[in-house]
Structure 1
Amino acid sequence: MKDTPLPCFSLIIPTLHRDEEVARLFQSIHQNTLQDLEVILIDQNEDNRLDDTCSTYAKLFPLQRVRIRPVGVSHARNHGRQFARGRLLNFPDDDCELTPGLLQQAADRFAADPGLDLLFARSVDPRSLKSSVTRFCTQAQAVTPRNVYSTTVEFTMFLKREIFDQVGPLDERLGVGTSYGAEEGADFVLRALYLGKKLHYDPELVFHHAQKTEGYDASALARAYSYGRGFGRLSLKHLVHHHQPGAAVRFVHFQCRAAAGMLLHAVRRDLPRSRFYLESILGRSAGLWNAWQDFRHQGAEAWALEGKAASP
């Protein structure tokens, strides 16, 4: 085992309550032009729905299945890191797909720039071929605190294994499966920037991920509130713990944008969409307030998760 060469990529995939999507993701991995990889599936299902899928694809590429109870996507990704042997890490969502040349393109980018620490791809809806999940920039560029939300999403991130250890684990208080349903990726990216790491975004590298926020039903409203809570906690964390005044500016900026959107769509009598913006505003405010209560009652211990990550 000691003589086994390290794979180029470790793909760490948390999954819960999905089976057909996982099969499609596995097929997209198998169809990639670069096969110097390993897959680590963090299976949080209480049933055996993935038995056949894992049995089939374990014959096609190195696949390790690790079963844990559902405790959140950030915990699952952190847990999967301890099994990863690849020189480069990626954390695909269980409902995304890799485009055929993606891994080779990412490997080539790192080979061409030895100083590159983290590389971000673009997420595209496979039907509309438009950016999904967030509004991605169309031009390649360095990632900075100002463009984090137009260049980065956690599942599109490739990074050197040692960088993950230097920046510290994903914040397990943030992300799907917690009451602060998002922002674990932005938190990690910002911490990497504070440490002076080199981050680059290249829209020519593409993941496929369906756009799921077109409607404004009850589930979309709940998601807006939960994601907003994550943003509120992120903002206070980076203001108080990392001493970054820009976090407060970013919070106010996004709240003002949401308020403008809420009023605009209310005037247009598009009340569901107006309510969507309202839920984002309320969620962000609640997340900020609850995070402040945590900090006030627990002090620095409430923010001690990342450990190795330090403010500049």
Structure 2
Amino acid sequence: MKYDLIFISTCTVLDHVHNLLSSIANNNKSLKVCVVTLFQCGLDSDVIYDTPHSVFVKLKYGELCGLSKARNIGIRYVREFNLVASYVMFPDDDSTFDKEFFDNFKNEVHSDTLINVFCEGTRSLYQKMPQLSYLEKTDNYLNAMSVNMIIQYDHFMEVGFFDERMGVGAKYGAGEDGDFFLRICEQFGPFVFNQHLHTFHPALNTKFAVIPLKDLIIRYKKYGEGVIFLLCKHKKYRHALLCATMGLLGAFKALLVNFDGKLCFARMAGFYYRSKMLVTLFTK
């Protein structure tokens, strides 16, 4: 069977993944869909989600692994069992979809595509997107998240796997989605941006005042190292230098505009780790 769409996801929180899988099962009445989900850390679910339109495959992994490695386990399953589709997506376990997504998919998607991501239960953007016109092409990694990429199956098969050095739980704690996006763009050209389709994701916790300074520094360190590694990997050295500089400017803004000493200190730490990573990669 050839599916219209394959979802590859991973589960670390049962409540989250139940919302994802049930949103697909309940809202998809239009597409032939296969959902491959990796349950980690001994997690399991006995809920049956299969419908005439959606097939659900459950994989298991006994430990907690990095996000890129988890996705690669799903990718290997697709390749080894010769699952074929028109398109592939990588939703997070706390992503959800509505009926509109499935009903409009075939009319709207004809190539590698980026879509909007709304905060769960709203039409507020999860992440600010550029002012692109309908179906305008883009190869800007800042526009891409793993959850908003719809990838042609043949391009997915050609590009292969996520870089397991990057992403949550890996050596460099960010950038795996941008890397996957850029590798597709470099081989097959830019994505198109389609505002007529969307998915949902819980809102980001950006209330820095309630996050301990130590945790805030770790957050900026992981993101900073990941994005610098991403940019240097793709030889975007000017962008990497700009990214490091923006960390310093962000620290000054936090202090002089927001009067937030804690955020200023965290951003200064982020600037330090970005700059250190940049120097390390250049010297190598």
Once superposed, what is the RMSD of the aligned Cα atoms? 2.3
- Which residue number corresponds to residue 23 of structure 1? 18
Q: TM-score, normalised by structure 1?
A: 0.78
- After TM superposition, what 4+ stretches of structure 1 lie above 4 angstroms from structure 2? 289-293
SS at match of 2:205: coil
Which blocks of at least 5 consecutive residues in structure 2 are unaligned? none
User: How do 1:2-151 and structure 2 match up within 5 A?
Assistant: 5-16=1-12, 18-30=13-25, 31-45=27-41, 47-48=42-43, 50-52=44-46, 55-58=47-50, 61-68=54-61, 69-84=63-78, 85=83, 86-110=85-109, 113=110, 116=111, 118-126=112-120, 129-132=123-126, 134-139=127-132, 140-145=134-139, 147-149=140-142, 151=143
Letter in 1 for 2:219: R
SS at match of 2:166: coil
Which blocks of at least 5 consecutive residues in structure 1 are unaligned? 240-246, 297-312
Within the candidate set 273, 277, 302, 2:263 is matched to 273
Within the candidate set 143, 148, 153, 1:161 is matched to 153
Instruction: Output one character per residue of 1:12-55: Cα deviation in whole Å (capped at 9) or x when no partner.
Output: 11122x0111111112112234341011001122x33x323xx3
Kept in 1, the 8 Å contact 2:172–2:229? The answer is yes
Confirm whether residue 194 of structure 1 aligns to residue 190 of structure 2. no
- Which residue number corresponds to residue 170 of structure 1? 162
Confirm whether residue 229 of structure 1 aligns to residue 225 of structure 2. yes
> Could you tell me how far apart the structure 1 residues matched to 2:279 and 2:64 are?
26
- Which residue number corresponds to residue 284 of structure 1? 274
C-alpha spacing 1:127/1:266, structure 2 compared with 1 (3 Å): farther
Aligned length: 270
- Report % sequence identity: 20
Deviation at 1:128, TM superposition (A): 5.5
Letter in 1 for 2:241: V
> Could you tell me how far apart the structure 2 residues matched to 1:226 and 1:41 are?
26
> Could you tell me how far apart the structure 2 residues matched to 1:128 and 1:256 are?
34
> Could you tell me how far apart the structure 2 residues matched to 1:284 and 1:105 are?
41
- Which residue number corresponds to residue 303 of structure 1? none
Q: TM-score, normalised by structure 2?
A: 0.85
C-alpha spacing 1:228/1:56, structure 2 compared with 1 (3 Å): same
Query: Which structure dedicates a bigger proportion of its chain to strand?
Result: 2
C-alpha spacing 1:283/1:215, structure 2 compared with 1 (3 Å): farther
> Could you tell me how far apart the structure 2 residues matched to 1:275 and 1:32 are?
47
